[in-house]
Amino acid sequence: MTYSLDAFQNGQVVLVDKPIGWTSFQVVNKIRWLLCRQYGIKKIKVGHAGTLDPLATGLLLVCTGKMTKQIQDFVGADKAYTGTICLGATTPSYDLETTIEPQSNPSHLRKEDLIAATATFRGHIKQKPPLFSAIKQKGKRLYEHARAGEHVDVPDRDIIIHQFEITSIELPDVGFEIQCGKGTYIRSIAHDYGQVLGVGGYLKKLCRTAIGTHTLAQAISIETFEKNIQS
């Protein structure tokens, strides 16, 4: 990557390793602020290609300048994730953003059960997005409806799961790897996986490892990006 004002205005893709607790919007704002401060400019186009939830970590593509016009191309690319599903409980948001609600003890589940349940999610499937998500419905984000206690019907989405593998089992936690198409909510997979097993489940940990041909191994921290543009 070339670190110069002309390069960023003409278009760069910054591969950021998003830290836990940051929203994708906060990362974009930070990159924009760093560029404006470093080069003494008032504004520059900056956007991200594919939201990561605050509690998720991993690869976030941040586009600058003319590359923001290609954001939709990146959004449409296949993605890969690793993470942990906690069985035996659910949450309204399907992750740790909301209160944990105990369901059924998963200790009776065998390795064969946990692996067999993944077959339900492979290929072209229908998925219902989480109520706590940024999708707009009736003029408001779904999470705004959810926080207000308002009921809305969320239509199913057509998605594709290329791979769903169980990588570790330490009940109630189950480690996984997923490769999927655009529009997939891993939180919903965690919730629905728990439903299929009959014990409930929620997403405890998530890391995005790839978007198209871009990988997390190529990404840098926000702190490293700041040092690089100053050097």
Q: Which residues are catalytic?
A: 53
Instruction: Find tokens 């059960």 and name the residue.
Output: 113
Instruction: Name the phi and psi angles at 52, rounded to 5.
Output: -115, 135
Residue from 162, 158, 178, 82 nearest 122 by CA: 162
- Helix (H, G, I), strand (E, B), or coil: what is residue 186? helix
Element (H, E) at 72: helix 71-75
What is the CA angle 158-202-190, rounded to 5? Answer: 30
| Spatial distance between the Cα atoms of 224 and 105, rounded to a whole number of angstroms | 44
Residue from 64, 77, 96 nearest 208 by CA: 77
Residue from 168, 230, 181, 178 nearest 208 by CA: 178
